[in-house]
Amino acid sequence: MGNIGYVPLTTRTGNAWTVGNQLSLNLGVDLAAVSVNDNGGTATYAGPWDGYVFRSANTAGLNFGFNYSGSPVGYAANASMWGRVYRDLDPTKPVYGEGATTGTPWWVSSSGGPNVSAAASYSHLMSLSAARYGGSGEGIYTGFFGVVDRGGAEPAGGMSGRLRWVWDFTPPTAQISGSGPFVSGSQASVNVTLSDNVGLDHFEIGPIFNLPHNLFDAGFAYVTPGQVNIGTGLGGPIIKNHSQTITDLVPKGLVFYDRIGGGIQAPVFNTIGAAVRSTDLARNRSNIGTIEFQNIPMFERPDEPTFIRFNNTQSTVCRGSPCSNGSGPNLDVTASWDSPLDIDPLNKFEVYTLTSNKRVTFLGRLGTPVRTSISGGFRFSASLTIDMSQYCGEGGTNLLIGLGHSKDRLFWYKNNSFPAVTVSEPTTMNPVCWTARRLLP
């Protein structure tokens, strides 16, 4: 079996821990500790979570790390966490660890950390090499992180799993063009051209009406009820540039209604153009793109519905929870419309906000209306509870739009007075608004 000998263990640079679990001051002299450990304790990954987005040029919030505890040998200050992260999904672009080689995970060092087995946390600033491959550092990042204790054991929960996140603070662009002809009641085509420095998610499109209005960023009243997804989000190929031809019916125009009394008001503001807005994977929204065209005919106000009413219950809501003013996230809205016939005259009824920066933002569509008999005809009533914790538009004072669409798709009905609702900010970050809208497995 060969000779068996005994070698006294002393501390060395690679193992400077003494039998008293202290750092040696006399390397090569102090007796070294030997630890056999398969219990790494427990750990909880502390972000960034899969699918998160960062929309600020300030990288102070780009931290990742673990909270961990329970190891009998503790966790080293400068070599507890390891991992690998790529920018733009490119394995030749590692963004952490100078000199890191493709395919090789590396240890992530920090300026300090726990050396004890008590509960502890560890974090690392992601911005150290974020711009390593040029530009602002904006892009899509993918990778993983893990943590081990001083004995090399991995705690339960000590792996983050695959992570994908977006760092993008530059809005996309949107343009719309077309040569017509544009005739109300007929099909027409427009071309949209969109781009983003990181990746596009979707665009919204709709008509512009002949009503100059300083509350709208297009300079005229408009709506964007059509939403078209681009690609499959972070779960598929990333699309930075997109062009598409949209063909649809040109509506006759916009009709206002008194949201309290319900009366339908003249005149009809005819359709004079189209608007488009794009949104990227990080939820940045473009400026409005518009095209205007001649559409001179004037139209009579339609006979039905004869009345439309629209109201909201809450005047203050919380974009998440909790808010210091005590408001909750739910926004309850109701609408009803009357007709002499028992057939619903509307195709749909939707709710939008008009934000402080003059942008129209979709909130939701009311459910199937309930029909009841009234004097001289029928009433159709519908309601919707909107979870404003899902709302990622501008906060502060928002104006509500209750938008009806005629069954023949030729008229839009909009409330004449816009009720205000204050969107308050929660005391903690709203995770929904910092998550890519479409993150697929």
Residues 46, 29 share a domain: no
Is residue 441 domain-resident? no
Structural domain ending residue among the three candidates 107, 140, 167? 167
HEC-encoded secondary structure of the chain: CCCCCCCCCECECCECEECCCCECCCCCCCEECCCCCCCCCEEEECCCCCCEEECCCCHHHCEEEEEEECCCCCCCCCCCEEEEEEECCCCCCECCCCCCCCCCCEEECCCCCCCCCCCEEEEEEHHHHCCCCCCCCCEEEEEEEEECCCCCCCCECCECCCEEEEECCCCCEEEEECCCCCCCCCEEEEEEEEECCCCEEEEEEEEEEEEECCCCCCCEEECCCEEEECCCHHHCCCCCEEEEEEEEECCCEEEEECCCCCEEEEEEEEEEEEEEEEEECCCCECCCEEEECCCCCCCCCCCCCCEEEEEECCCEEECCCCCCCCCCCEEEEEEEEEECCCCCCEEEEEEEEECCCCCEEEEEECCCCEEEEECCEEEEEEEEEEEHHHCCCCCEEEEEEEEEEECCCCEEEEECCCCEEEEECCCCCCCHHHECCCCCC
Is residue 260 domain-resident? no
What is the reported pLDDT for 170?
A: 93
What is the reported pLDDT for 106?
A: 47
Q: How many other CB atoms are there within 10 angstroms of residue 1's CB atom?
A: 3
Instruction: Read off the CATH number of the domain in which 106 is found.
Output: 2.60.40
Say how far apart CA 236 and CA 213 lie, in whole Å.
40
Residues 115, 73 share a domain: yes
What is the reported pLDDT for 1?
A: 38
Tally of structural domains, the chain: 4
Is residue 378 domain-resident? yes
Is residue 297 domain-resident? no
Distances in Å between the Cα of 158 and the Cα atoms of 110, 236, 282, 344 are 18, 27, 28, 57
Is residue 257 domain-resident? no
What is the reported pLDDT for 48?
A: 67
Residues 101, 195 share a domain: no
Residues 311, 272 share a domain: no
pLDDT (tens place) for every residue of the chain, 441 residues total? 344 455 677 887 656 778 776 778 888 888 877 655 667 788 887 766 677 887 877 665 566 667 777 777 777 655 566 667 777 767 666 665 444 444 444 444 443 344 444 445 555 555 445 556 667 778 888 777 777 777 777 888 877 777 888 888 999 999 999 988 899 999 999 999 999 999 999 999 999 999 999 999 999 999 999 999 998 877 778 899 999 999 999 999 999 999 999 999 989 999 999 999 999 988 899 999 999 988 767 788 899 999 999 999 999 999 888 899 999 999 999 999 999 999 999 999 999 999 989 999 999 999 999 999 999 999 999 999 999 988 888 889 999 999 999 999 999 999 999 999 999 988 876 667 777 666 543
Structural domain ending residue among the three candidates 117, 133, 167? 167
Residues 160, 184 share a domain: no
What is the reported pLDDT for 5?
A: 53
Residues 272, 222 share a domain: yes
Domain containing 10 equals 1-34
What is the reported pLDDT for 91?
A: 65
What's the whole-model pTM score? 0.81
Residues 114, 18 share a domain: no
Residues 183, 149 share a domain: no
Residues 27, 70 share a domain: no
Say how far apart CA 347 and CA 406 lie, in whole Å.
5
